[in-house]
Amino acid sequence: MGEDVARDPECIFCKILEGDIPAYKLFEDEHTFAFMDINPLNDGHALIIPKDHHPNIFDTPTNVLAPLMETTQRIARAIQNSIAPDGINILQANGHGAAQSVFHVHFHVLPRKNGDDAKLNWGLRPGDMDHISDLAQQIRVAIKD
């Protein structure tokens, strides 16, 4: 990691970036990192984060948001082309009232199923890790340059 990268030692996503806790990584580039959510709403639920720690969208500089959105699009396309959900929502939460639980800015790529009746506060239930690992591999091979 670059020496000028801003990290918060208490932040779970910074710990993933540091390699201190494991993640099913999908993609990374200079500014961004994409990985599977371990409490998925549906198959293929992924998260996109900047390598710098910024708590929410208010604090995130536009030169960080631009590559973040580029990677979000890249991952959304790969999920559509591999998992083929009925639809995809892109979601980003700011503050407890918006059900933000990790204060390192992130975009959810939320695959949707017809009739899943998903709520904005969908509740966190641990997924099956072997299944998430299989899905991650399907998505990885569908990522385009």
Closer residue to Zn ion, CB minimum distance, 8 or 43: 8
* C-alpha span between 83 and 62 (Å, rounded): 30
Cα-to-chain-centroid distance, residue 120: 16
> For this structure, is 45 an active site residue?
no
3-class DSSP state of 112: strand
Comparison of 3 and 123: residue with beta carbon closer to ligand 5GP: 123
Token readout for 41 is: 């709403």
Which listed range, 14-22, 24-32, 66-74, 105-113, lies at the site for Zn ion (CB under 5 A)? Answer: 14-22
For residue 38, state whether it binds ligand 5GP (rule: CB under 6 A).
yes
In the set 53, 104, 106, 108, the catalytic residue is 106
Cβ closest to ligand 5GP, residue 48 vs residue 74: 48
Helix (H/G/I), strand (E/B), else coil: 1: coil
Helices (H), 22-128: 62-82
Cβ count near 15 (within 10 Å): 17
93 binds ligand 5GP (CB under 6 A): yes
Q: Answer yes or no whether residue 23 interacts with ligand 5GP by CB under 6 A.
A: yes
CB of 44 closer than 8 Å to CB of 83: yes
Residues identified as active-site: 106
Q: Would you tell me which residues interact with Zn ion (CB under 5 A)?
A: 8, 11, 13-14, 53, 104
Q: Would you tell me which residues interact with ligand 5GP (CB under 6 A)?
A: 12, 21, 23, 35-39, 47, 93, 99-102, 124
